[in-house]
Amino acid sequence: MSAGKKILWMLIGVALTLVLICGLCAPLVLLGSAFQSVSAPSPTVSGPAVALVRLEGVIMSGEPPANPFMDASTAAYSGYIVKQLKWAEQEETVKAVVLRIDSPGGSVVAAHEIHQQVAAMSKPVVVSMGELAASGGYYVAAPADVIFANPDTLTGSIGVIAQFLDLSDFLADYGITATTIKSGKFKDSGSVFRPMTEEEKATWQTIIDEAYEGFVKVVAEGRRLSVAEVKALADGRVYTGRQAKELKLVDELGNLPDAIRKAGELGGIPGEPEVIEYREPFDLLRQLLRAMPSSDPLTRIVSALRRAQSPILQYLYLAP
């Protein structure tokens, strides 16, 4: 068989394989879409209940991605968290809410959206902190009626951060240069292709300071502390649950069951309260794709660099 015919048959084989894959995936996509059409849960409880809302992972804006090839399991999306809180607010059988937080924080905007909904709740809200409830994870907890932390929870990290990559030396080593055409001297502020100027750093510091003042105010109002008291402990460090209780950042030391019992008490529920938990609609295709191996390291590096080119303000604890 000639080389030309071999190549032709290889192309035909690839085409047939793609057609087969598309044919197998189509029913899964339709099935996933059918499950996703469920817009709100219908919890079944026999009496007054406590709603459990979980905020786990880095806090991000919006809803979980519709793209099934993107894994949303390690993030807490503000739109979905707010939606669950609103469901709990509207459900007559729900008398109180437990917000379970295990998060290093994340987007300033996303944390603010969740914080606003927690503050707007007419029903008692009790926070239960897990391993970590730092920075934005603490920001969303501040307006709760009662905050529980495990003695060894890491919390606090009150502060704001924005990071910028400077790859200019690295790129120069490989002879890579960039030409930037811009309308103003700050238009490419934070570009990875050059170091930041002192003037640019000062501009960004002003933005960080403004967001920091907002964070301090939220904590002072939520915890009934003075601004001076909050600033004395808001240098970005984390505290253990024990330390946080001494500093009045949390109210009680305890775990999730303790928070649930307290929520039941605040909601006027006698005895052990029933618990309902809202979960995202089941999507078969998404679950199958999440089970696949993650993308290769190079793809993840490229993705990180793309995110770095669009810096955002973050209430984020960067663990060592």
Catalytic residues: 135, 187
Structural contact between residues 159 and 131, judged by C-beta atoms closer than 8 angstroms? no
User: Residue 296: how many CB atoms within 10 A of its CB?
Assistant: 9
Q: Structure tokens of 291?
A: 């089970």
Burial string for 21-33 (b: 16+ CB within 10 Å, else e) reads eeeeeeebeeebe
Tokens of 56: 């786990």
Contact by Cβ (8 Å): 61, 79:
yes
Q: Are 139 and 214 in contact (CB under 8 A)?
A: no
Instruction: Identify which of 10, 19, 106 has the alpha carbon closest to the alpha carbon of residue 62.
Output: 106
**Total residue length of the chain:** 320
Number of alpha carbons in the 13 Å side-chain half-sphere of residue 65: 12
Which residue intervals of the chain are DSSP H helices?
Answer: 3-36, 78-90, 108-120, 136-139, 168-173, 198-223, 227-233, 241-246, 256-266, 284-290, 297-308
Q: Where are the alpha helices (DSSP H) in 179-226?
A: 198-223
Residue 248 host element (H or E): none
Closest CA to 233 of 109, 10, 245, 162: 245
